[in-house]
Amino acid sequence: MAFLPDFLKLGIRSEINRTLKENGVTEPTAIQEKTIPVILKGKDVIAQAQTGTGKTLAFILPILERIDPKRTYIQALIITPTRELALQITTEVKKLIKSLEDVNVLPVYGGQDVEKQMKKLKGAKQIVIGTPGRLLDHLSRGTVKLSNLSMLVLDEADQMLHMGFLPEVEEIIRLASSKRQTMLFSATMPKQIRSLANRYTKNPEDISVKGSKM
Ligand code: ADP
Ligand code: MG
């Protein structure tokens, strides 16, 4: 059998694989290897792995495979606890979509001019990455609509708990299409996060990687 680089084996297309390689990413980490095939199947996941083990690519890569560039509404929403993280994930996504046509991403967070964000949201945006408060603001203005959302990620869920964002996060989830795929990523799994995950996922795959192995 011909040699296949590991991300290809997991179901990631060659254009993205090439960009990963250009950025020094050649081998998937343990959490990436376990979650990517499950997310590609459209299943809900509850994923736990230590900080620094590559959880961001574990959801970004399958999301990019599942985005339909011909549809210009929001298909994927990633909720993050901080603006820094929203910007960091946006940078990663932008690197990877360079090889893909007609996929657009927008970060949405507090502290940035809301009118400016509203203007940007008018264009085609398949992926939105944002913090809970500002996302709710846009949802109430109608500038973010989640009626056709197909993928929802709660990233660094334990941090959102520690920052007191769970009520806002729940409000956002309740406004999202019930047909969505839901993914929760966290370094730790306090009982409030376990309970949130159980309430808002359907028949999820529970994936946990112990230790800090990459
Ligand atoms: P986590 O969310 O689990 O804390 P990140 O997704 O932020 O971790 O990744 C931590 C670092 O590891 C980042 O700098 C990222 O670019 C890098 N990284 C992720 N996956 C890989 C990989 N497969 N190979 C090499 N480096 C990786
Ligand atoms: Mg992370």
Query: Which ipTM value was assigned to this complex?
Result: 0.99
pLDDT at 1: 44
Query: Region 183-196: what's the mean pLDDT?
Result: 98
Q: Is 143 exposed, middle or buried (0-12, 13-18, 19+ CB in 10 A)?
A: middle
Top pLDDT among 102 and 42 is at: 42
Total count of residues recorded for the chain: 214
- Decide: helix, strand or coil at residue 107: strand
Q: How far is the CA of 2 from the centre of ligand 2 (A)?
A: 33
pLDDT at 5: 64
Separation between Cα atoms, residue 28 and residue 36, nearest integer Å: 10
Given a contact cutoff of 8 angstroms between Cβ atoms, the answer to whether 89 and 66 are in contact is no
Separation between Cα atoms, residue 109 and residue 106, nearest integer Å: 10
pLDDT at 123: 84
List ligand 1's pocket residues with C-beta within 6 A: 25, 27-29, 32, 49, 51-57
The environment of the single-atom ion ligand 2, i.e. residues with CB closer than 5 A, is 55
DSSP code of 5?
-
Q: Which atom of ligand 1 is nearest to the CA of 53?
A: 3
Q: How far is the CA of 24 from the centre of ligand 1 (A)?
A: 11
Supply the residue whose CA is at minimum distance from atom 9 of ligand 1. Answer: 54
Supply the residue whose CA is at minimum distance from atom 12 of ligand 1. Answer: 54
Separation between Cα atoms, residue 194 and residue 198, nearest integer Å: 6
Torsion of CA 139, 197, 8, 104, to 10 degrees: 10
Q: Token pair of 166, please?
A: 């769970």
Q: How far is the CA of 101 from the centre of ligand 2 (A)?
A: 26
Q: Token pair of 11, please?
A: 């179901």
